[in-house]
Amino acid sequence: MIVLNSVSKHFQQGNKTFCALDDINLTVEPGSIAGIIGHSGAGKSTLLRCINCLERPDSGQIRVDNSDMLALSASELRKMRQRIGMIFQQFHLLSSRDVFSNIAFSLEIIGKSKKEIHSIIEPLLSLTGLTEKRHAHVDQLSGGQRQRVAIARALATNPSILLCDEATSALDPQTTKSILNLLKEIHQRLGITIVLITHDMQVIKQIAQQVVVMDGGKIVESGHAIEIFGRPKTAATKALIHETFHDTMPEHLQQRLSSVPKENSHTVLHCTFFGESAEKPLIAQISTDFGVLTSILEAHLETIQNKRLGFMVVELQTTDQEKIQKIMQFLTNNQVNVEVIGYV
């Protein structure tokens, strides 16, 4: 388990002090996959590096597997880091070594024998799909293969935790998908806790069970993936979702949208359907149950952790406010997140 209590971190920038982490409280359950997301400068990387004390916070407490990380001696911290693997955006491989010896490097440092090193690396080559590349040098590998080497190296010391610092940011979409599938397989086979940071909600969508949203050095929202995507509470989270899924109306419809109702204008709703509500004909039911025609202005479906999630912008073709309130309550009662976004 990873537990951060009231963790803060500041950096000096010239004459000014910059707050990178502001009173962070976070728990990551053992064996889970936690995704930390936010725009550049949100504090994600600093938070990740504080977990294994590559950065030491100014205040607060960090506990990993019941060890107080900030109370460990230098030698104790080195041992503890063997249980915390880490992979980076830029791979950090040794160009003078081949695949096998790159993976072996961390084992050589801790004094493993050649026999032990071979017994550890062979299964890792198979797990990461690198068996045929064992003698290839780094400059002969694609970006995805280099990240697989980095993952195998991080797993060589048999860690209980794997930290991923923008591990797919330098990769194309197809390679990103293959690396995320590999991380999911590692999680399932080894039961390892994975904490990854990213600025890409698509990455979060594909892999994260727990989602942590950061903005301005603070955790602004945290919860299960389907809840975060289905019921975002903060402006920062909504913006990330909109950016990722293009969950907005086309520009020609936005130009028609007014923020205040006018005479004979219709209400426009943004609806998020998830779970069972995504499979029900609720929009059609509005017409039969309330006698109100509904125009669908924008809609699409996503799959989050094997659950359906639908986004829809609809125009209620009525000026009857009582009916509109009843329709909104009907949708809410059916687990639809409803928000009035304007009038046309």
Lowest average pLDDT, out of 109-118, 158-167, 192-201, 243-252, goes to 243-252
- Per-residue pLDDT tens over the stretch 12-70: 888 889 999 999 999 999 999 999 999 989 999 999 999 999 999 999 999 999 899 99
Statement to judge: residues 274 and 227 lie in one domain: no
Statement to judge: residues 40 and 106 lie in one domain: yes
Statement to judge: residues 95 and 232 lie in one domain: yes
Statement to judge: residues 93 and 144 lie in one domain: yes
Average pLDDT over residues 312-340: 93
Question: What are the residues whose beta carbons fall under 8 Å from the beta carbon of 316, sequence distance 6 or more?
Answer: 266, 267, 268, 269, 286, 292, 294, 323, 324, 327
Average pLDDT over residues 144-173: 94
Which ranges constitute the DSSP H helices of the chain? 44-51, 74-81, 99-109, 114-127, 143-155, 173-190, 201-207, 225-230, 235-245, 251-254, 282-290, 321-333
| pLDDT reported for residue 245 | 66
- Per-residue pLDDT tens over the stretch 102-138: 999 989 989 999 999 999 999 999 999 999 999 999 9
| pLDDT reported for residue 239 | 86
Structural domain of 46: 2-243
Statement to judge: residues 149 and 228 lie in one domain: yes
Confidence of residue 249 (pLDDT cuts 50, 70, 90): low
Statement to judge: residues 231 and 162 lie in one domain: yes
Statement to judge: residues 255 and 232 lie in one domain: no
Statement to judge: residues 55 and 92 lie in one domain: yes
The number of distinct structural domains making up the chain is 2
Percent of the chain whose predicted confidence (pLDDT) is above 90: 70
Higher-confidence position of 156 and 311: 156
CATH number at residue 335: 3.30.70.260
Statement to judge: residues 66 and 127 lie in one domain: yes
Over 90: is that where the pLDDT of 179 sits? yes
What global pTM score does this model have? 0.86
CATH number at residue 200: 3.40.50.300
